[in-house]
């Protein structure tokens, strides 16, 4: 009902009489008043003027499920949304929901995370209302070995959404960091629940710095607000990312991994550069040449030998 | 305390006076009496004779945590046991416990499963008190791609335990079926919770037919009772399997996968035979030649071409 009231108020930027709204939605004036109060409590500024009616003056920058789903227009992503003011970690909840049988496309959103998780047990700083912190459940019919391409697909989707919505160029540092002007702006964590030969489900986690203040960011990190010089409405960006993700997921299923890896190459900061890679307690240096079909990084060492790296931390030597 | 009382009663097959037991354990006669009652409720036959004391006449064939851990003598497996009269599935609970941070070696046991799970969503029939239904949490420091060897390791461990404890020969049908006289007696299901490049934890599930009646078994299935002509005390067998598993796990960590695959070859029913394999909606026929280092099955087709199969259902052509 909140969703429908907002729909009406959004359509007409003028005042709408309480009588009109109530009749249109088939609720009592009293019922409408209660919903309006609830929306006000959530941060919506709704002006009520005698003889004129209600007008939506402003909406808060929140990722409420009903806001996200209102103009999402996806086929399956976000049809089910779990929204929280804060969570320990969206990953933990999504893994649980996945085990309980939540359908593919189920989305977990939190306005803040107490213990946001990054790759290999690292932390993702998740201050309230400043970023987008989501975990998305997917149920692809693939083997565990094919899962890394989902991380690449997610990274590509974020870069494409930045470009189409914000006209902002971003790069990907293999395997899962999104950088703008060489500073980290987003990270992706992909976890799976799988049998040896079949994935039960995958959870893609995205942590994205949007309206973070400069002083709260580490020197090597940035946020969209810092790069664009203005705040970004998170719900609009989130919708764009989810739509792009869904399109790329369909592309992956239709055309296979090569299409995604081709797109990835266009955003790759790593390829062509001299890099240092720390992996499994070892490190090597060389030229980052390409990705193989599983999404592993191919390094040409100074000896000329090629080495395939499935997991590691890359530093670009500039 | 139950564990300690049983320990005392087991040591002396004679009567032990209540006074002696109470003093030894530092509890009151009243407290002892309550514990004895509880043990009787669990199915222990404890005779109490005035002026003589207590004597353990018989113990029920149950997998109580305190029974299993009493003579297990492992380094880490089974240090924490969750025991249930029945569960929907030991796998589901173990995956949950794993996510909540349960340590490596944590064991989930159920006397019956309502929806015991097999590979690829199949069911494992789990009648009460008849079989061993367990899920074991392990936290190996390996990549997801290296996980299938854990299934092979578990299959080897079951065969070795059958041999050492029951002098019974069993074979393994790739990848995870244990057969005795060409009939299925046990199945293994391995699931993981992993990042793309790091396993968080693995759960190994074992379903084993022990004292099943003949009429409750499918024609292609068997149970130890049928093969041996007598019932098997499940707790003793379970302990032997867990000890063997732990030894093989240490072997795997020290020596790598090759040692486990060598052992596996000795029990392999599949290798050297002509087989049909159904995989991913396709099927091929050929000679099962060997396992590769990841545990995949190598098939030589009639054309002479070798094919590597990571996942599928094998039928031996006899």
Q: What CATH number is associated with residue B24?
A: 1.10.10.10
Check whether residue A177 and residue A298 sit in a common domain.
no
Number of domains in chain B: 3
Check whether residue B124 and residue B197 sit in a common domain.
yes
Q: Report whether B237 contacts B161 (CB < 8 A).
A: yes
ipTM: 0.81
Q: What is the CATH number of the domain that holds A282?
A: 2.30.30.100
Check whether residue A261 and residue A298 sit in a common domain.
no
Q: Report whether B106 contacts B136 (CB < 8 A).
A: yes
Q: Which residues of chain A have pLDDT under 70?
A: 12, 318
Check whether residue B6 and residue B136 sit in a common domain.
no
Check whether residue A78 and residue A47 sit in a common domain.
no
Q: How far apart are CA B166 and CA B228, in angstroms?
A: 8
- Phi/psi at A232 (5° precision): -115, 135
Dihedral sign of CA atoms A105, A106, A112, A113 in order:
negative
Of B189, B191, B195, the CB nearest to A190: B195
Q: In sequence order, which residues have a C-beta less than 8 Å from that of residue B219 and are 6 or more positions away?
A: none
Structure tokens at A199: 């994935």
Check whether residue A190 and residue A110 sit in a common domain.
yes
Check whether residue B230 and residue B214 sit in a common domain.
yes
- Angle A135-A225-A318 from CA coordinates, rounded to 5°: 85
* Total Cβ atoms within 10 A of residue A232: 21
B290-304: pLDDT as tens digits: 998 888 899 999 999
pTM: 0.87
Check whether residue B189 and residue B285 sit in a common domain.
no
Walk along chain B (318 residues) and give the pLDDT tens digit of each residue: 888 888 888 776 788 888 888 998 999 989 999 999 999 999 999 998 888 889 999 999 999 999 998 889 999 999 999 999 999 999 999 999 999 999 999 999 999 999 888 877 788 889 999 999 999 999 998 888 888 899 999 999 999 999 999 999 999 998 889 999 999 999 999 999 999 888 999 999 999 999 999 998 999 999 999 999 999 999 999 999 999 999 999 999 999 899 999 999 999 988 888 999 988 788 899 999 999 888 889 999 999 999 988 888 888 876
Structure tokens at B187: 């199945």
Check whether residue A184 and residue A208 sit in a common domain.
yes
Q: How far is CA B292 from the centre of its chain?
A: 25
Q: What is the pLDDT of residue A274?
A: 92
A263-301: pLDDT as tens digits: 999 999 888 889 999 887 888 999 999 998 888 899 999
A77-129: pLDDT as tens digits: 999 999 999 999 999 999 999 999 999 999 999 999 998 888 777 888 899 99
A99:B92 CB<8 A: yes
Domain that holds residue A221: 65-267
* Angstroms from A37 CA to nearest CA on chain B: 39
Q: Report whether A174 contacts A311 (CB < 8 A).
A: no
Q: What are the strands, taking DSSP E only, across A174-223?
A: 177-180, 183-195, 199-209
A195:B95 CB<8 A: no
Chain B residues whose beta carbon lies within 8 Å of the beta carbon of residue A201: none
Chain A residues whose beta carbon lies within 8 Å of the beta carbon of residue B175: 196
DSSP B263-303: HHHHHBSSTTSEEEEEETTEEEEEEEEEE-TTSPEEEE-TT
Q: Report whether A67 contacts A107 (CB < 8 A).
A: no
Check whether residue B50 and residue B191 sit in a common domain.
no
Check whether residue B50 and residue B70 sit in a common domain.
no
Q: Which of A227, A243, A267 is the last residue of a domain?
A: A267
Q: What is the CATH number of the domain that holds A91?
A: 3.30.930.10
Dihedral sign of CA atoms A88, A92, A98, A103 in order:
positive
Check whether residue B38 and residue B127 sit in a common domain.
no
Helix H segments across chain B?
A: 2-11, 18-25, 29-41, 65-70, 90-99, 148-166, 224-228, 234-255, 257-267
């Amino acid at each position: 009902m909140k969703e429908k009231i907002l729909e009406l108020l959004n359509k007409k930027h003028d005042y709408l009489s309480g009588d009109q709204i109530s009749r249109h939605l088939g609720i009592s004036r009293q019922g409408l008043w209660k919903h309006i109060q609830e929306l006000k409590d959530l941060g919506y500024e709704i002006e009520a003027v005698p003889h004129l009616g209600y007008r939506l003056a402003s909406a808060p920058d929140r990722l409420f499920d009903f806001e996200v789903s209102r103009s999402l227009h996806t086929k399956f992503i976000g049809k089910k949304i779990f929204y929280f003011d804060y969570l320990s970690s969206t990953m933990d909840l999504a893994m649980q929901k996945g085990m309980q049988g939540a359908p593919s496309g189920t989305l977990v959103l939190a306005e803040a995370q107490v213990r946001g998780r990054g790759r290999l047990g690292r932390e993702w700083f998740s201050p309230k209302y400043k970023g987008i912190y989501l975990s998305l459940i997917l149920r692809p019919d693939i083997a565990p070995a094919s899962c890394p391409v989902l991380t690449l697909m997610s990274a590509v989707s974020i870069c494409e959404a930045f470009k189409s919505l914000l006209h902002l160029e971003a790069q990907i540092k293999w395997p899962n960091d999104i950088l703008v002007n060489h500073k980290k702006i987003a990270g992706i964590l992909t976890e799976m629940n799988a049998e040896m030969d079949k994935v039960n489900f995958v959870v893609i986690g995205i942590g994205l710095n949007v309206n973070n203040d400069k002083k709260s960011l580490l020197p090597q990190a940035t946020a969209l607000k810092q790069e664009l010089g203005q705040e970004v409405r998170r719900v609009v960006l989130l919708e764009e990312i989810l739509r792009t993700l869904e399109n790329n997921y369909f592309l992956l299923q239709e055309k296979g991994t090569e299409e995604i890896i081709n797109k990835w190459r266009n955003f790759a900061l790593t390829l062509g550069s001299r890099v240092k890679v720390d992996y499994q307690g070892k490190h090597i240096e060389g030229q980052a040449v390409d990705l193989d079909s599983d999404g592993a990084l191919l390094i040409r060492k100074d000896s000329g030998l090629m080495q395939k790296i499935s997991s590691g931390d890359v530093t670009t030597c500039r």
